[in-house]
Amino acid sequence: MRAIMAIAATTVGEAIRRKVLLIILLIGVLFLAVAPGLNTLSTQSETTVLKGMVLGIVQLTSAVIAIVLTVYMIPNEIERRTIYTIVSKPVQRWQFLIGKYLGAVGALGIMMLLMSLVMEITFFLQFQSGFKAEDALDLLRAPAMFFVQMSLLAAVAICFSTFVTPLVNFFLSGGLYLIGSLFAPFFDSLNQNSSTPMFAKLTARFVGVVLPNFSIYNVQNPIINPGQTIQNPTTYYMQVTGYGVLYIGLLLVLGIVILDRREV
Amino acid sequence: MKSKSLKQTLTIIAVVCAIGQGALYNGVIFNRWKADYAPKNGLSVGTGLDAQQYIFALSGFREMIAGILWVKADSFFDDGNYDAVLPLIRLVTLLDPKELDVYATGMWHIGYNFTDQDERSDRRYIPSALALGKEGIKNNPDTYEMYFETGWMWFNKIDDDYDQAVKYLQEASSKNDIEPARRNLLAQALIRDNKLDEALDLDSQLYDRAEELASSEGSYNNANNRDAVAGNWDNLIVRMAQRGDFAMKQGQKIYDAYPYDTKPPFDTQFSVKASVVEPRVLQIEGTYGVLSVGTRIRVDLRDSDYDADKAAELDWDGQSTVDLSPPKDRTFMQDQLYVKNRRFNKRIDMQQDPTMYPFVANNYVLEFFYNPRSAPEYIKDKFGFNGEGFTDSNFLNTTVRPGERCIYVKFNFTKDQLWRRGEWEDTVPTAQTKNFKEIAPTDSDKDVIFVPALRAGGK
């Protein structure tokens, strides 16, 4: 466990020193800071539009960071041959991969926390006394779920990074993120359409189970448009977090098996 | 793999994770997600989004896209580019069906802002505006707003078929999140729907509630609302007394025995003449013996084959889906004739807006309609809530709106007449009621308003 934590801590340090990530983060933060410039609408719309925009910026920036952060992680270690100095020590490859993943998630968490902080400050400055502590907590529910979503995306990318080049991985992970987000609504449409053949429905269901489903973490709508009655949102958040943890576990095992068989 | 046990452990973890995530997703999460968080049906059908926007929207950024589009719609609106606003409103409501403000603004925009050069509303859009309202209700059934907005459109814009306004406003009032003062509109709708007892009961309940709020919370708005409700309640009681409604409840004898304001019924002596003075230009003049200001008579021109059951209106509620292009081959003009000094005279030019007035059909109906339920209160003081104190010796009609006393007159015109073609090129097509008499305009018509006394029979 100490080895995993040591690798994770080193990975976090490396990640937050990477200029490309810092630039993406800076762009995200700048977008968050200028988002209130959209206050051209009525009071109600202003809040709705601002929440939608700000949460969208957090999610989009986090997705780019999650992919860019993880696609280089294993290949860079192999290319720079720093992996030799690690695996020659009493560190197993599975520990190395899990440490790297936890480090990536840690760095991602720090960056998302920073963005969430800027988001909260933006709202506080915009609405001042109208923005209460419960509003701040309510707003944080979305980034919390995005964090689980991005952790899953990072697991996808780190799994791919054990056997493909970073460029290919970038498109593969990005593509899977899109498909994983698109497929659930598509599957839903297929199910609703009575003319869909049974075989297509079954195939869609199978693919729905196999592919990671990212859309279940998009919980921002009730936060953006308050007044909706959602039964037991906390239970839902726990269920989707459980789903994420299980899927991440599956991807990490797959990554470990591939890395273990790979000639380094 | 260095050890067999690690290999086994990894296999077990993988199997548990695979089965667990599949079971969790299919067993619990999907249904919850579908019910509470999934994009609604709109996104699985045509949205008008291009491929990138569509993918972006479905990838979890639909609220963000909706926000950007709404900001864009606002800039189009500021520029007066109303045609460009419509598809954006549609897209935003499809992307984010919970954004009530877009539904409400969209309804208002579709229902009110499309006009011809004389700022006459294109009422062919109203069924679409109502369809948008109904869609908003379907997607947001737990909040009052879309019920209220839809009710308001029936009450204010359509200003007819008041049972519809009552239906929606009752739903709005039943929601807990409604602003207290907004409940007051239901009482007004009930009055126009001639449900006076219900309006009286409601005013009583509204007063109790407003008084309680004003006492417990004490804000200016609550106190103001309490005073407004008290005023409405008082007015209704006084009016019901003066117009003989309480007396009627006790029997015709009581009503006959006292000089209520609604007696004797006032004869409006309506007459009208309509001429096609130029191609697609109508000149309408006539008489109406009611107070000098405040009376508006509805005039409409429509295809004669359009829904004959509906006199002097479109089938406002006949559309269940939002279609932002009204039927291009349908003509429907509706306007108001303002009565001054018991006369009205209006030129209606339909030449400049061929998309609004296509005149494709071969036959048309020109209708004149007056419903005392829509009249201002000072006229209803004489006419009564449902026209009991109102009559017209020639054109009183109780069938076009069953249970209501209206004036209704209709003329037929052909397409050739309206276009002044063929035999009508040099002859002015004219239709008039038998009682119409030409009255030469006088200088005093421009700036003097004569105020006759209705109680003395309007002399």
Residue B36 has its nearest CB partner, among A41, A213, A230, at A230
pLDDT confidence of A54, banded at 50, 70, 90? confident
Collect all residues of chain B within an 8 Å Cβ-Cβ radius of residue A150. none
Name the residue with higher pLDDT: B148 or A162: B148
Q: Same structural domain for residues B5 and B88?
A: no
The answer to whether residue B444 scores a pLDDT higher than 60 is no
Domain that holds residue B354: 267-447
If one counts every other C-beta atom within 10 angstroms of the C-beta of residue B344, the result is 21
Mean pLDDT of B424-441: 90
Whether residue A42 and residue B33 make contact (CB cut-off 8 A), yes or no, is no
The band of B223, judged by pLDDT with boundaries at 50, 70 and 90, is very high
Listed by number, the residues of chain B in 30-59 with a beta carbon closer than 8 Å to a beta carbon of chain A are 30, 32-34, 36-39, 41, 43-44, 55, 58-59
Encoded tokens for B412: 């037929």
Residues in chain A closer than 8 A to B20 (CB atoms): 242, 246
Cα separation, A73 vs A100, in Å, equals 7
The fraction of chain B above a pLDDT of 70, given in percent, is 89
Average pLDDT value over all residues in chain B: 87
What are the chain A neighbours of B17 within 8 Å (beta carbons)?
246-247, 249-250, 253
Those of residues 265-324 in B touching chain A at CB distance below 8 A are: none
Nearest 5°: the CA angle B179, A50, A26 is: 160
Show residues of chain A in contact with B18, CB under 8 Å.
Answer: 250
State how far the Cα of A251 lies from the Cα of A247, in Å rounded to an integer. 6
B12–chain A Cβ distance below 8 A for any pair: no
Q: What is the DSSP string of chain A?
A: -HHHHHHHHHHHHHHHH-HHHHHHHHHHHHHHHHGGGGTTS-HHHHHHHHHHHHHHHHHHHHHHHHHHHHHTHHHHHHHTTHHHHHHTSS--HHHHHHHHHHHHHHHHHHHHHHHHHHHHHHHHHHHGGGS-HHHHHHHHHHHHHHHHHHHHHHHHHHHHTTTS-HHHHHHHHHHHHHHHHHHHHHHHHHHH-TTS-HHHHHHHHHHHHHS---GGG---HHHHSTT---S-HHHHHHHHHHHHHHHHHHHHHHHHHHHHHS--
pLDDT at B308 over 70: no
For residues B211 and B223, give the distance between their C-alpha atoms in angstroms, rounded to a whole number. Answer: 8
Q: What does the pLDDT average to over B90-116?
A: 86
Least confident range of B56-60, B285-289, B360-364: B56-60
The chain A residue lying nearest B96, using CA atoms, is: A221
**Would the ipTM clear 0.85, i.e. be above it?**
no
Predicted confidence band of residue A86 (pLDDT cuts 50, 70, 90): confident
- The candidate with the shortest Cα–Cα distance to B390, out of B403, B369, B373, is B373
* Residue B428 domain-assigned (yes or no): yes
Query: Is the model's pLDDT at B181 over the cut of 60?
Result: yes
A191's tokens: 């199910």
- Which pLDDT band holds residue B174 (cuts at 50, 70, 90)? very high
Q: Between B273 and B31, whose confidence is greater?
A: B273
B184 located within any domain:
no
Cis amide linkage into residue B264, ω under 30° from 0 = yes
> Nearest-CA distance from A40 to chain B in Å?
8
- Position A222 scores a pLDDT of 81
pLDDT bin (cut points 50, 70, 90) of residue B290 is confident
Q: Please report the pLDDT score of residue B167 as a whole number.
A: 97
Closest Cα partner for B346 from B398, B406, B300, B286?
Answer: B286
Query: Are B303 and B358 in a shared domain?
Result: yes
Please state the rounded mean pLDDT for residues B174-178: 93
B229 confidence band (pLDDT: 50, 70, 90)? very high
- Is pLDDT at B146 greater than 90 in this prediction? yes
Which residue from A minimizes the CA distance to B77? A41
Mean pLDDT of B397-416: 94
Residue B280 resides in a domain = yes
Asked if B247 and B262 count as a contact pair (C-beta separation under 8 A), the reply is no
B138 lies in a domain? no
Q: In this complex, do B70 and A221 lie within 8 Å of one another by their Cβ atoms? A: no
Which pLDDT does position B42 carry in this prediction?
47
What total of structural domains would you count in chain B? Answer: 3
Q: Are both B346 and B385 inside the same structural domain?
A: yes
The predicted pLDDT at position B44 comes to 47
Calculate mean pLDDT across residues B385-406.
Answer: 93
> Between chains, do B17 and A92 touch, taking CB under 8 Å as contact?
no
Judge whether residue B280 has pLDDT over 70. Answer: yes
Residues of A in contact with B47 (CB under 8 A): none
* Domain assignment of residue B56, yes or no: yes
User: B88 with B13, same domain?
Assistant: no
pLDDT exceeds cutoff 70 at A57: yes
DSSP 3-state assignment of B94? helix
A179-192, pLDDT tens digit by residue? 888 777 677 667 66
- Within chain B, what is the greatest distance between any pair of CA atoms? 112
Query: In chain A, how many domains are there?
Result: 1
Please report, for residues B136, B283, B357, B423, the alpha-carbon distance to residue B349 in angstroms, rounded to integers and kept in the order given: 36, 9, 10, 21
CB-CB neighbors (< 8 A) of A175 in chain B: none
- Assess whether B284 and B319 both reside in one domain: yes
Residue B52: pLDDT over 70: no
Percent residues over pLDDT 90 in chain B: 56
Distance separating alpha carbons of residues B67 and A46, to the nearest angstrom: 9
Say whether B142 and A92 touch across the interface (CB within 8 A): no
Tell me if A242 and B13 make a contact (CB, 8 A cut-off).
no
* A131 within 8 A of A170, measured Cβ to Cβ: no
Here the tokens at position B326 are 């009204």
Is it the case that residue B459 has pLDDT exceeding 50?
no
Give residue B45's pLDDT. Answer: 46
Mapping DSSP to helix (H, G, I), strand (E, B) and coil, where does residue B329 land? coil
Q: Do B36 and A213 touch (CB under 8 A)?
A: no
What does DSSP say about strands B390-391 and B266-267: parallel, antiparallel, or unpaired?
Answer: parallel
Contacts with B140 from chain A: Cβ below 8 Å: 227-228
CA distance B280 to B347: 11
Structure tokens at B395: 């054109």
Among the listed residues B331, B323, B317, B316, the one whose alpha carbon sits nearest the alpha carbon of residue B120: B331
In a domain, B338, yes or no: yes
pLDDT tens profile A221-253 = 888 877 677 778 889 999 999 999 999 999 999
**Nearest alpha-carbon partner for B167 in B133, B128, B121:** B133
Is-contact A70 A184, C-beta < 8 A? Answer: no
- Asked whether residue B22 falls in the same domain as residue B64, the answer is no
- Which among A250, A251, A257 is the top mutation candidate for probing chain B, defined by the most B β-carbons within 10 Å of its own β-carbon? A250
Q: How many angstroms separate the CA of residue B269 from the nearest CA in chain A?
A: 48
Under DSSP, is residue B80 helix (H, G, I), strand (E, B) or coil? Answer: coil
> For residue A41, what pLDDT is reported?
54
Average pLDDT over residues A13-27: 84
The residues near B289 (Cβ < 8 Å, ≥ 6 apart) are: B266, B267, B268, B269, B270, B342, B452, B458
Burial group, residue A78, by CB count within 10 angstroms (0-12, 13-18, 19+) = middle
pLDDT digits (tens, 9 = 90+) for A93-144: 888 889 999 999 999 999 999 999 998 988 888 887 777 888 888 889 999 9
pLDDT higher than threshold 80 for residue B347? yes
Confidence of residue B276 (pLDDT cuts 50, 70, 90): very high
Model pLDDT, residue B6: 78
Q: What is the mean pLDDT of residues B195-204?
A: 96
